[in-house]
Every structure is written in C-alpha cells, then in structure tokens.
C-alpha cells in the first residue's frame, strides 16, 4: 500500500500550484506517528501521511475529534504529544529536511521558521509574564534583537493583530485577557519572526462566531503579507469553505480526500466528506442517508480494510478486503475510496 | 504595587487572634502535664505547709482560667514570667538564647536552600539522567537520617579525626571575648565590631551544626523543588515555550519561577519548625539555644520559659509567613489584585 499511495500522490500532490519554480514550502512524505501502548500493539495516530503545501497557500485540514490532527501538527515540529514518536517519514521545510537536524537546530527553527498557533491560549501563555514580554522574547531569542528593539517590535505586532490600546496591553498578564485577545497574542507570538510556515491547530475553536471571523480574516492577511504558508487545522468544515485555498479531510490518521476549495465543496467524492457536509444540512433525510451513527470511529477494522468501512453507507466487500490508495480522480482532486461518489 | 497594603492589612488583622489562640492552647496543654513546680523547687524534704505557701506565692492555687488571665495581664506589661530554674526573667533569658537558635537555623536553612534548589532543578530538568537518580537517592537518605546522628558522625570525622573544627561546646571559644550584642548573631555582631578573632571563632563553631541542619533539611527542599519544577515543565505553557523554540535553559528558568511559591512555602514551614526542631542538634553542640531552654522547661514543670518560647516562635513564624505572603504577591500577578 505504501508504494502505490506514495507514487500516486507524489506525482501531482502539488495541486494547481505544482508549476512553482522553487521547492514547496512544506513537503511531508510518509509521516507516521505512533503511541506505544501499555499492552499490545502501538496506536498509530498518523499513518503514512503525505502533504505538499506551496508558498502563499492556506491549506485547510478538517477532521473530527481523534482523527490525529494535533498529533500531526506537533509532529511537523518534531514534537509529537508524549509518549508519541515519529516512526517514519520525511518533513521538508522549503527544501530542508527537518528529520536530519539535531535538537538545537530544531529548537532554533521552531517559532522562527516554523511556528504553531495553539488552541486554548489562556492556558498556554506563561501566567507570570506580561504578554508584551512573551512576544518580545520571541524576537530576542530568535532574531537576537536588543531588548528595546524587541519591545518595539512586540508593540507593532500587537497593533498588527488589532489589540485595542496596545501600549497598555503590553503590560497585561494572560489572566487579564479575554479568550479572543489571548488568541490574538498567540497569533502575534507565532507570526512576529515572520516564519516560513505556520501550523494552526484548532486556533479559533473556543471563540464566538463574530470574533472567529475577525481573527480568521486577520490571520489570512498576516500570513499572506509575510509570504508564508499555513496549514489550518480545524474540526469545523464550514470555516475552510471561506478561508482555505485547498482542503483535505482526515480520518483516523489518513487523508481521505484532498482538493482545491471549489472542487472540494461543489464536487465531493468521498462518502466521509459528503457525510461531513450533510451533517450541516437541514435536510433530515440527507443527514440520515450519509451517516451510520451506531458505528464508532476506528472500531477494529481488519488490517487490510478501508479505515472508514464501519461507518460508510456505501461499503462493499472490496472495502473490507483492500485498503484503498489516495487516487487522483480529477486534476488535483484526490480521494481514498474504491467507489467514489459521482460528482 | 497596587493592592499590597490592603492585602497585608487583612493579614495583620488575624495576627492577634492567632497569637491568642496559640497561647491559650499551649497554656492548657503544658498545665496538663503532671508535675508540681512547687514540689520540684523545694525538693523532696519540703513540708506540706511550705509547698502550699509557695503555691500561693506562685499563684498556683487559682483556677486555671484565672492563672491564664494573670499570665496575659503580665504579658501585656512586657513580663513573660520568671524561670525558677535560672531564677531570671524569661524575657531576658530568651533574648539571649533565641538569637543563638535563630543564627544556627538561618544559616542551616541557607545551606539547605543552596543545596536543595539547584539539585532539585537539575534533577527535574534531567528527569531520567544520573543527576535525577542522585537527587532521588539524596531525597530519600536525607529524609531518613536523624539529624543528631549525622551531627555525631560529622563531629567524629571533622573534630576527632581531622581536627579541623573546634570542640562541639557552644558558640564561641571560651578564651575569646564575645562581641557586644547588637543583633544577637555572633557572626554579624563580631563583623559589626570589626573583631576578626571573634568572627573566626564563631564561624568555625557554626560549621558543623550548620552543615548538619543544611544537609538534613536540603532533602525536603530538593524533593519539593524537583516535583514542582517537573510538574511545571509538563504544563501547557512550558510545552508551548518549547513549541515556540525557546532555549531549554529559559524554559527551565520560567518553570522554576512558576514553582517558587511551593518552594518558598516549604522553606518557610521548615524555618518555623526548626526553631524547636533543631533542639537535638543544639544539645549535641551544647549550643545554649532557645529550643534547649524550652525543653528543660517542659521537663521541669517550668512553664514560663515554655510559654515564652512558644510565643516568640509563633511571632517569628507569623512574620515569616507575612514575608512569604509578600513574596507570593511579588511573584504572582494573579494574587491579591
Ligand atoms: N497519549 C496518548 N496515548 C495513546 N494514544 C494517543 C495519545 N494521544 C493521542 N492518542 C491517539 O491519537 C489519536 C489522535 O489524537 P489527536 O489529539 O491528534 O486528535 P485530534 O484530531 O487533535 O482531536 P481533537 O479534535 O479532539 O483535538 C487519538 O485518537 C488517540 O487514539
Ligand atoms: Mg487536537
């Protein structure tokens, strides 16, 4: 399976931007992350994962809880959640193979060339330091600018993320901020060194809808202004419809479908994608037709089966016997399904 | 610092009731120990009449609550009673002995901090390394060693065999004139007086008892530092700092800062506890400190030295806790604002 998938995908996974001259901003090949279990076999949270993202691209990755999104995001920084470990794969950032770097080189790269936006930012910020200090620390450490300059840059960044009254907010502590404001601080920390690539994990999930929209718009502009690229991970398929250039759906550690935004939303091919979209519909019949709520995700499929087989309303014998590869069904439109839905 | 004064004022409000409660409990507890000071003072040959007369003179014929009341009235006038053993006012005795204990305990604790905190941090940040294992072993051993036993071992090695320290007899050589009392700390007072001979003698007498207290009490400080820093290193914000590419040393420093309140707490508890808890070390080194004084009082139904000691220790502890509150306030912006 490994071979067939790899060749299929590497051929055209660059999507519509495959013509770009330089290397892709991020190229992930065969990434596998495992959690050693107390007893029995290890849990594989990310399976043989391939992903290519071009400069200036915002790539949406959708998946339900437990799909392996956080594990993937942190594995990209080579820091999978404990006790997980990267069992195989290659990660290239602007052509540079991260798996070959030592820990010190990785540390210098994180937050500077490759940064992460985390969810639930109020718990993630150091409670004893002012937010101004925490933003300024990034440039002091990574860009080696003097303290005064670091503070000035932090203040500019606070303005850029549209924090009201930024001079005063420099001296505020995390517990004095609202969730939305803390989210802006975390964005400021992630972007202040103008990284090449940003991984955003569930960044806006805790916020109410209007704040969410503002922050997404801001994030999009800041990423594009800096010529970066971003992997935007979310549970909310609706967000990606407005926000991302390409979208992929992840299920149980694998990409199930990947396409440019329009293609993805107007011509979904994988039953799982259709189910996710139907879940947003007001049409009861449509929702029931595409979901099998009695089945649990990841429920003991035989090794060679499609990971989605237990929940798939279209499953046939072949789906239980043969694991499908990610196939290109139309230009830049991939699906991992033996019997894709007709567009 | 906005809010510090109201915060402290609130704490101060509780100090007097706290002291009263401590004295009340101590008074009745000590009185419940069997033994009649009048009998002890007059010896086994005394007549019943003489004992009764002395009891009246000492106020022992009153009911207990009345005795407590008289004690409080005297206390308000600055009179802590008289010790029948030393036949001197308790306040005078204590003003001489309390600084002796305080000097010993303070330096002992400083050593314990100097050993415990760095080792605790090092072992927390190298959880599985050899440093972590040494720290674990040390934490276990230090908790299991009795301090007086360690003191005897140290005396045997450094006095008997190596002869690099003076005999364990008091705070300063008999031949050396103690410096005039300012703080009661012989080291500090001799420095203030510019008396180097006295300083050298006092410092060399401090070596072994301070080493004993330091090594034993570094154990709990090390354990607390290790476990708290370790917990902080596993917290969300430490993980986020690592994800943000901050250097390991900085992440550990920030974790230590977040762990400081717990470490300060254990230090302050040890400080208060050691005033009485160092008594075995005081006895081994014939220190003549306040702990020794109080224990003599308990053994001989000499109640006023004991109450005086309890009162002074309580006041001292309350001030330590007050200082701790101020430190918390300075460290953590979430407190009291
Ligand atoms: N500490 C762990 N030990 C064992 N397995 C784990 C551990 N953490 C995660 N996993 C496995 O990895 C899978 C993916 O977890 P992950 O946190 O990446 O999901 P997620 O997509 O981010 O979910 P959510 O949307 O809830 O954040 C889980 O289903 C679980 O089986
Ligand atoms: Mg997650």
Per-residue pLDDT, A114? 95
Q: Where are the domains of chain B?
A: 97-289
Cα–ligand 2 centroid distance for A156 (angstroms): 30
Domain span holding position A206: 3-113+193-335
Confidence of residue A10 (pLDDT cuts 50, 70, 90): very low
pLDDT of residue A13: 46
Dist. CA A192 → ligand 2 center (Å): 24
Predicted confidence at residue A74, as pLDDT, reads: 95
Q: Per-residue confidence at A293, pLDDT binned at 50, 70, 90?
A: low
Helices B236-243 and B248-277 sit at what angle, rounded to 10 degrees?
A: 150
Beta-bridge mates of residue A97: A92
Q: Does A128 sit within 8 Å of B236, measured CB to CB?
A: no
Nearest-CA distance B148 → chain A (Å): 41
- Residue A146 has a pLDDT of 96
Which CATH number goes with the domain that contains A288?
3.40.50.300
pLDDT score at A2:
39
Give B-chain residues touching A107 at CB under 8 angstroms: 245-248
Encode pLDDT of B120-130 as tens digits: 999 898 867 78
Å from CA of A45 to ligand 1 middle: 7
Task: Estimate the crossing angle of helix B196-233 against helix B90-125, to 10 degrees.
Answer: 40
Q: Is B257 within 8 Å of B235 (Cβ atoms)?
A: no
- The whole-angstrom separation of Cα A254 and Cα A326 is 9
| pLDDT per residue as tens digits for the range B153-211 | 999 999 999 999 898 888 888 888 889 888 889 999 999 999 999 999 999 999 999 99
Q: Does A307 contact ligand 1 (Cβ within 6 A)?
A: no
**Contacts with A126 from chain B: Cβ below 8 Å:** 237, 241, 254, 258
What is the radius of gyration, based on Cα positions, of chain A? 21
The reported pLDDT for the residue numbered A294 is: 60
> What residues in A contact B257, CB-CB < 8 Å?
128
Rounded to the nearest whole angstrom, what is the distance from the C-alpha of residue B249 to the centroid of ligand 1? 29
What was the pLDDT predicted at A3?
A: 40
Give me the pLDDT at residue B53, please.
Answer: 85
Of A108, A112, A128, the CB nearest to B332: A128
pLDDT at B140: 81
Of all atoms in ligand 1, which is nearest to the CA of residue A82? 1
When mean pLDDT is compared over A121-135, A292-306, B62-76, the highest value belongs to A121-135
- Dist CA A278 CA A256 (whole Å): 16
pLDDT at B102: 94
For B77-89, how does the pLDDT look when each residue is reduced to its tens digit (9 = 90+)?
888 888 888 889 9
Does residue B56 carry a pLDDT above 80?
A: yes
Cβ of residue B248 closer than 8 Å to a chain A Cβ: yes
Rg of the Cα atoms in chain B: 24
A residues 49..78 contacting B (CB < 8 A): 74, 77
| Mean of per-residue pLDDT scores for chain A | 86
A67 lines ligand 1 (CB under 6 A): yes
Structure tokens at B115: 């050993």
What pLDDT was estimated at residue B143?
Answer: 74
pLDDT greater at residue A214 or residue A190:
A190
Structure confidence by residue, pLDDT tens digits, B237-282: 999 999 999 999 999 999 999 999 999 999 999 999 999 889 999 9
CB-ligand 1 contact for A74 (6 Å cutoff): no
Does A194 touch chain B if contact means CB atoms closer than 8 Å?
A: no
DSSP 3-state of A299: coil
User: A169: pLDDT confidence band, cut at 50, 70 and 90?
Assistant: very high
pLDDT band for A8, please (50, 70, 90 cuts): very low
Report the residue of chain B nearest A79, measured CA to CA: B243
Instruction: Report phi then psi at A229, rounded to 5.
Output: -140, 160
> Which residues on B lie below 8 Å from A79 (Cβ)?
242-243
* pLDDT band at residue B2 using 50, 70 and 90 as cut-offs: low
Q: State whether residue B334 sits within 8 Å of chain A by CB.
A: yes
Count of structural domains, chain A: 1
Is A137 in Cβ contact with B246 (below 8 Å)?
Answer: yes
What b/e sequence results for B114-146 when a residue is b if at least 16 CB atoms lie within 10 Å of its CB, and e otherwise?
A: ebbbebbbbbbbeeeeebbeebeebbeebeeee
pLDDT of residue A302: 65
Share of chain B above pLDDT 70, in %: 98
If you measure CA to CA, which chain A residue comes closest to B242?
A107
The closest of A57, A46, A62 to A14, measured between CA atoms, is A57
Q: Does the beta-carbon distance from B246 to A141 stay under 8 Å? A: yes
Q: In this complex, which of B244, B246, B334 lies closest to A127 when CB atoms are compared?
A: B334
Residue B99's pLDDT band, with cuts at 50, 70 and 90, is very high
Provide the pLDDT for residue A14. Answer: 44
pLDDT of residue B337: 60
Tell me if A305 is assigned to some domain.
yes
Q: Give the domain B97-289 fold.
A: MetI-like fold (1.10.3720)
Q: For residue A69, give the ligand 1 atom closest to its CA.
A: 21
Write the DSSP symbol of residue A177. S
Residue of chain B with shortest Cα separation from A125:
B237
**E strand intervals along chain A:** 26-35, 43-53, 58-62, 84-93, 96-97, 114-117, 197-201, 229-234, 246-251, 254-260, 327-330, 333-335
Dihedral sign for Cα B41, B45, B48, B50, please.
Answer: negative
Ligand 1 centroid to Cα of residue A2, in Å, is 23
Per CB-CB distance under 8 Å, the chain A contacts of B255 are none
Separation in Å, CA of A107 to nearest CA in chain B: 5
Query: What integer pLDDT is reported at residue B7 of this predicted model?
Result: 74
- The answer to whether residue A1 scores a pLDDT higher than 50 is no
Please state, rounded to an integer, the average pLDDT across all residues of chain B.
89
Predicted local confidence at residue A21, as pLDDT: 63
Q: What are the pLDDT digits (tens) for B16-49? A: 888 889 889 988 888 888 777 888 788 878 888 8
């Amino acid at each position: 399976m490994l071979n067939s998938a790899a060749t299929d995908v590497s051929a055209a996974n660059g999507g519509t931007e495959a013509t770009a001259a330089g290397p892709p901003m991020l190229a992930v090949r065969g990434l596998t992350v495992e959690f050693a279990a107390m007893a029995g076999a290890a849990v594989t949270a990310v399976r043989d994962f391939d992903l290519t993202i071009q400069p200036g691209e915002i790539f949406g990755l959708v998946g339900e809880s437990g799909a392996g999104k956080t594990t993937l995001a942190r594995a990209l920084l080579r820091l999978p959640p404990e006790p997980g470990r990267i069992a195989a794969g290659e990660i290239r950032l602007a052509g540079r193979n991260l798996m070959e770097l030592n820990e010190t080189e990785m540390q210098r790269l994180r937050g500077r060339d490759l940064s992460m936006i985390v969810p639930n930012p109020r718990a993630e910020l150091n409670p004893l330091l002012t937010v101004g200090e925490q933003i300024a620390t990034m440039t002091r450490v990574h860009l080696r600018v003097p303290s005064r300059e670091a503070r000035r840059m932090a203040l500019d960044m606070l303005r850029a993320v549209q924090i009201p009254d930024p001079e005063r907010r420099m001296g505020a502590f995390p517990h004095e901020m609202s969730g939305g404001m803390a989210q802006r601080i975390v964005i400021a920390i992630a972007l202040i060194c103008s990284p090449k690539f940003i991984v955003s994990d569930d960044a806006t999930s805790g916020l109410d809808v209007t704040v969410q929209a503002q922050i997404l718009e801001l994030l999009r502009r800041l990423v594009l202004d800096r010529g970066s690229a971003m992997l935007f991970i979310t549970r909310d398929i609706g967000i990606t419809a407005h926000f991302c250039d390409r979208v992929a759906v992840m299920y149980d550690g694998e990409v199930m479908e990947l396409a440019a935004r329009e293609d993805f939303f107007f011509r979904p091919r994988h039953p799982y994608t259709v189910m996710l979209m139907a879940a947003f519909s007001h049409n009861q019949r449509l929702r029931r037709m595409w979901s099998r709520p009695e089945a649990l995700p990841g429920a003991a499929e035989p090794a060679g089966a499609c990971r989605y087989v237990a929940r798939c309303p279209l499953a046939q014998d072949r789906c239980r016997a043969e694991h499908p590869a990610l196939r290109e069904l139309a230009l830049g439109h991939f699906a991992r399904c033996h019997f894709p839905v007709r567009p | 610092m906005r809010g510090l004064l109201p915060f402290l004022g609130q704490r101060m409000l509780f100090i007097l009731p706290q002291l009263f409660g401590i004295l009340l409990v101590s008074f009745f507890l000590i009185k419940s120990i069997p033994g009649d000071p009048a009998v002890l003072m007059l010896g086994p040959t005394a007549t019943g009449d003489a004992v009764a007369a002395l009891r009246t003179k000492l106020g022992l014929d009153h009911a207990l609550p009345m005795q407590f009341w008289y004690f409080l009235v005297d206390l308000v006038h600055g009179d802590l009673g008289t010790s029948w053993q030393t036949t001197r006012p308790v306040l005078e005795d204590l003003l001489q002995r309390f600084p002796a204990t305080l000097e010993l305990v303070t330096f002992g604790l400083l050593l314990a901090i100097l050993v415990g905190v760095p080792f605790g941090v090092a072992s927390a940040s190298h959880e599985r390394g050899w440093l972590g294992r040494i720290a674990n072993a040390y934490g276990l051993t230090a908790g299991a060693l009795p301090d007086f036993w360690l003191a005897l071992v140290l005396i045997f090695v450094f006095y008997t065999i190596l002869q690099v320290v003076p005999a364990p007899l008091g705070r300063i050589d008999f031949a050396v004139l103690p410096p005039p009392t300012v703080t009661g700390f012989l080291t500090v007072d001799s420095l203030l007086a510019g008396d180097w001979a006295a300083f050298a003698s006092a410092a060399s007498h401090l070596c072994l008892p301070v080493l004993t207290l330091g090594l034993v009490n570094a154990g709990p400080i090390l354990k607390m530092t290790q476990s708290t820093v370790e917990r902080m290193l596993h917290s969300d914000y430490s993980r986020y700092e690592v994800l943000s590419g901050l250097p390991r040393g900085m992440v550990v420093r920030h974790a230590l800062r977040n762990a400081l309140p717990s470490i300060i707490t254990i230090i302050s508890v040890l400080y208060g506890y050691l005033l009485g808890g160092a008594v075995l070390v005081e006895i081994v080194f014939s220190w003549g400190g306040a702990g020794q004084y109080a224990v003599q009082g308990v053994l001989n139904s000499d109640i006023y030295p004991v109450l005086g000691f309890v009162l002074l220790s309580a006041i001292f502890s309350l001030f330590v806790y007050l200082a701790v509150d101020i430190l918390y306030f300075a460290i953590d912006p979430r407190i009291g604002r």
